[in-house]
Amino acid sequence: MLKKIGLFVIILAPWFLSSLFPFDYSFYNNLQLPFFAPPRIIFPIVWTIIYITIAISIYQLIKEFGFKNLSKNYKWALLINYLWNQSFAFLFFGLQNTFLGFVSSTGTLISSLFLYEETSKQNEKSSNLLNLYVLWNLFATILSLTVYILNIK
């Protein structure tokens, strides 16, 4: 049991890496936001749920196939998506750049679609856990584009 929990924690922990860096999150509060922008507190709640579901999806695949037996396309899709996902905090909050935040959101959306596709080739049940992730990325990309447009100087 401890081994299973340990594996899950190892899978989950890297998704929170970018949240460990001290960025000026008040930057978001100083931007012009569209009417559909959720309160800032919603973001960590949703991302925590999403990261847990991503980790469950990965965990299920590793338990079923073993990491070595997962397809190279899946591993590449996961790595590329992870890098895009983690880039947002640095680009948007760290550099305080709304355009690069939009680019990162777009990269995360596109790579999450590839991740969903590659996951579904391995196990449909595991790919269903990524539905919220893909939908949230679509919303985040629209929000990011709108924030960029509203704050062009």
Provide DSSP, 39-82. PTTHHHHHHHHHHHHHHHHHHHHHHHH-GGGS-HHHHHHHHHHH
- Tokens 């985040």 correspond to what residue? 140
Contact between 116 and 78 under an 8 Å Cβ cutoff? The reply is no
**Contact criterion met (CB below 8 Å) for 89 and 47:** no
Ordered per-residue pLDDT tens for the chain, 153 residues? 788 899 999 999 999 998 888 878 788 889 999 999 999 899 999 999 999 999 999 999 999 999 999 999 999 999 999 999 999 999 999 999 999 999 999 999 999 999 999 999 999 999 999 999 999 999 999 999 999 999 997
3-state secondary structure of 24: coil
